[in-house]
Amino acid sequence: MVYDQSFIIIRDDEHRIPIPEKWRDYSVCFEILRYIFFCMMFFITFFVVFIAGPFELMYKSGWIILAFYVVSAYLMTNVLYHYHKACSLKPIKMRQLDRDPICSMCKTYKPSNAHHCQMCDTCVFDMDHHCAWINNCVGAHNHRHFFQFLVFLFLGAIVLVINSTNTFYYGFYVGNDQAYCNNTQLSYLLWRDLLCSYGNLPIYFCIVGAFYLSFVTIIMVGSLVYWNFAMISFGTTLVKVLRNEGAPVWKIALCPLLAPHFKRNWRRFLGLRGRRSCCRRLLLPSGHKDYNQMEAESYS
């Protein structure tokens, strides 16, 4: 048995159910997805800085392009910060309480709001799901960061599409005089000769890739943002929905704004304590603890 400093039983390793090998294999695949995500972020940054920005400068004022760069950098900073926090914050280990049941899988003591995750091999307080893209459970310890990561990623994709309309429009025509490598107005770019050393085809693939990646992100991540918004409004999680606890699925999906205690649920989820903290804790990268996380730590 393993004990903490307060001599409270944390885990009984002798009666612990081992992790299936297939879950270990999945964990390796999920870790690869994290590197794929960073590659996609690098690709989008490359596209914005070296392709979309200079091309849009021919059709828009310099102030608009400068604002585009500033907003893109702001959104990218928040995306990477909240993604890192969602990945790095691990589930909080539960301590023994006399009134709590024992998990049949990991033999730890868990409160009623905890759920065992076979991938993480631990009980997670207010568990929502195990996300493959962060290779971590989404629960009370990181749900806020996960949601803000989705929101900023969704907004970033919208900003990219809106501010790259000319790039996408002319980029699909490889032989057009307005194409990136054929346009004489872009001859001042120091990197154009390097990017166009193999003709318009590499630039064409970059533009097409950024176009489809942006629209797929808007559709898929936008759907996740709305679904998480609906569940948070009702103060529930995906695990509770699958257990048929609380409001029915149709009501959660169609009437999130009519949820009881809507404002209280959101203030609790975001960890807001006053009006002054809204901008600092929502618009800027913030590692403050929300009320769900503090409640989970009360069991540790």
pLDDT in tens, the chain (300 residues): 333 333 233 333 444 444 455 555 666 777 888 899 999 999 999 999 998 988 888 888 889 999 999 999 999 999 999 999 999 888 877 665 555 677 777 777 777 788 888 877 788 888 898 888 998 899 888 999 999 999 999 999 999 999 988 888 887 765 565 677 777 787 888 888 888 887 778 888 888 899 999 999 999 999 999 999 999 999 999 988 888 887 888 898 898 898 888 988 898 888 877 666 677 778 888 887 776 666 666 666
Please give the model's pTM, rounded to 2 decimal places: 0.86
Residue 102: phi, psi to the nearest 5?
A: -100, 135
If you compute the radius of gyration of the chain from its CA atoms, what whole number of angstroms results? 23
Q: Sign (positive/negative) of CA torsion 223, 227, 232, 234? A: positive
- Looking at residue 178, its pLDDT comes to 65
Nearest Cα to Cα of residue 91 among 125, 129, 118, 115: 125
- Looking at residue 126, its pLDDT comes to 86
CA 256 to chain centre: 21
Q: List the structure tokens of 84.
A: 């890192």
Q: Rounded to 5, what percent of the chain is helix, strand, coil?
A: 55, 5, 35
